Chain A
Amino acid sequence: EVQLVESGGGLVKPGGSLRLSCAASGFTFSSYSMNWVRQAPGKGLEWVSSISSSSSYIYYADSVKGRFTISRDNAKNSLYLQMNSLRAEDTAVYYCARGRGETWGQGTLVTVSS
Chain B
Amino acid sequence: NFMLTQPHSVSESPGKTVTISCTRSSGSIASNYVQWYQQRPGSAPTTVIYEDNQRPSGVPDRFSGSIDSSSNSASLTISGLKTEDEADYYCQSYDSSSWVFGGGTKLTVL
Contacts and interface: CB of A to CB of B under 8 A. Distances in A.
Interface residues of A, number: 19
B44 A106 contact: yes
Interface stretch (B20-28, B60-68, B77-85, B90-98): B90-98
Given A44-B104, A100-B35, A37 B99 contact: yes
Given A95-B45, A101-B35, A102-B50, A50 B103 contact: no
Nearest to A97: B45
Contact count band on B: 20 to 34
Given A44-B104, A50-B99, A100-B35, A105 B56 contact: no
Main secondary structure of the interface of B (DSSP, over half): strand
Given A44-B90, A45-B37, A104 B97 contact: no
Nearest to A101: B35
B45 A50 contact: no
Interface of B: 33, 35, 37, 39, 43-47, 50-51, 56, 90, 92, 97-104
Question: Which 10 residue pairs spanning A and B have beta carbons closest together?
Answer: A47-B99, A59-B97, A44-B104, A45-B101, A104-B44, A106-B44, A44-B103, A101-B35, A104-B45, A107-B44
Interface of A: 35, 37, 44-47, 50, 57, 59, 61, 95, 100-107
